[in-house]
Structure 1
Amino acid sequence: MTSGTIRIGTRGSQLALWQANWVKHQIQAHHPEISVELAVIKTSGDKILDVPLAKVGGKGLFVKEIEEALLAEDIHMAVHSMKDMPGEIPEGLCIAAIPVRENPCDALIARNVTKIEDLPQGASIGTSSLRRGSQMLYLRPDLDIRPLRGNIDTRIKKLESENLDAVILAAAGMMRLGFGDQITAKIDPQTLMPAVGQGALCIEARKNDAETADLLSAIHHPDTACTVLAERAFLKRLQGGCQVPIAAFAQKQGRQLTINAMVAEIDGSVMYREQMQGTADDPEKLGTAVAGRLIDRGAGDIVQRLIEEARQT
């Protein structure tokens, strides 16, 4: 593509706009002859702010309307947080590029302590993520997990307004929006395993749009893609979503790929964890394999039961 206007579909949140603008500037840096504009699309997830995602449909709520605009050719590409992407991509669409990953860890924002271990008995923790809540309860069954929705700034303010001892957010979003100085501690992924794709962006496009794919090739980061594809293969095999405490984190060193994965009960009473290593040549095979190992141990029963329970509520 040598000229023209590219339309990027995005949610209207502060973080989503930051991410879409970052992609816009990257494209223009490599193709100054191309005009790029943002198309803000309100998703179902943006309209429902007072109910936990697990009760209203999960990950797809933040991408459905944007994907519909993409399929209708109203936009050329869409920029999402990778952790919002369901395991299945709609027919006719694809992940066209995965830029370099920001810090994938969760962040602790606390008032009176500097690490999880020092939280007082019965401390109140703000998070609506079943993944975060279950892992925190596994570590500290005494904790009081409180629901927390809204944008990053709103969630940080609730630390004081709702008299919480701490909130847990993705470090990547805080750092992108300039809130990095408010992070008390970045939590080790071995302590609190991140969501699938956390810290990474997903640039989605139509499968048959070779011009857009070529345009995005300069900002695609193969090492990030390798780790994210392993994590997403794990998610797809387990068919998990926001209704299930599920996590995976892959790391690449040279030609070796290591993936850690987790499935837990919501109350943290049971947790299955696995680690597998393989070559980086076939990340999806490794992600699928670690999911199979967890299923064999009984994690699949938790996933199916929690999904069924969510459908009935």
Structure 2
Amino acid sequence: MGLVITLVAVGVVVALVLGLWLAATANRLDRLHVRTDAAWAALDAALARRAVVARAVANAIVTGTAVDAGTDRVGADKLRAVAERAEGTPRAEREEAENALSLQLAAVDRGRLPLALAAELLDAEQRVVIARRVHNDAVRDTLGQRRRRLVRWLKLAGTAPRPEYFEIVEPSLSGENGAPLPRPSARVLLLDRDRRVLLFNGHDPGRPDTRWWFTVGGGVEQGEDLRTAALRELAEETGIRLTEEDLVGPMWRRRVVFSFDGRTYDGEEWFFLADLGGDGAEVEIRIDTSGFTDVENSTVDGHRWWTEEELRHTEETVYPVQLPTLFPELLKSTWDGTVRPVR
């Protein structure tokens, strides 16, 4: 009898502790989501102010109050149009629109703007930088909590949408004259016999706590065409050697401005499909990363094959962002020869 009472007491204590932990975790998740929402609201406001100031800069150029601003009337009209587009763009397409505005602002000679307007523009850009970092820190903490096994198994996040990082160019990280460095790249959507796609996991040396998943591929070297670059990158990063006929595409094109190791890039990514599971292939695929460069060895943390279901339900950050939604279509349809823009 005494043993039964002891077991019941232990069970009650365990249930009580577990209940308290679940309640505390759910409460923490709720606070983290509230924090993320508030951070996005602050970032949205900072971006809106930057757009307003950008239109003021365009007006100053057109009306002549900017002294030889280095941007003609056509450039000023384009700056105004890009700023207006950024203001009215929905969240899903906001990164691209804000990056386009960053590129337009980078072309403006601040030294020839009226002093007060130049100072206001600098302040607006700095506030965007701060707000973006606060937002991304909040997203990182929220995703970290949501990725815990018990949180996922017990669905403690409820119906709260998965927060997303907001990645745009930061003026303080820009290269010479604030202009991002152009970087065309060729990437490969590599499929195996189980209809899985290979992704690498990596991080920025300047932000080692922020990690993401990405496809095989890299920059196009001088004198290379896209297909040649895709095949070379595939061989270097996986040890798999294919021919040009084995690549389908380019199927997708992604334009993105991003920062890496303190340098800002204006990237244009072209995606090819390489299906290693066609025609009933049964050969096991072995990934060989011995061809990695020094940078890749220090920033790539691993790789794995992803199924359609895993991509759809993951809390991890995956690039391109639309890969989880477009992957089923990629598996089921035949390429029609059209290059599709993705983000």
Which TM-score band (shorter chain)?
under 0.3
Question: Is the radius of gyration larger for structure 1 or structure 2?
Answer: 2
Quick check: which one's helix share is greater? 2
Q: What is the TM-score normalised by the length of structure 1?
A: 0.27
Q: What is the TM-score normalised by the length of structure 2?
A: 0.25
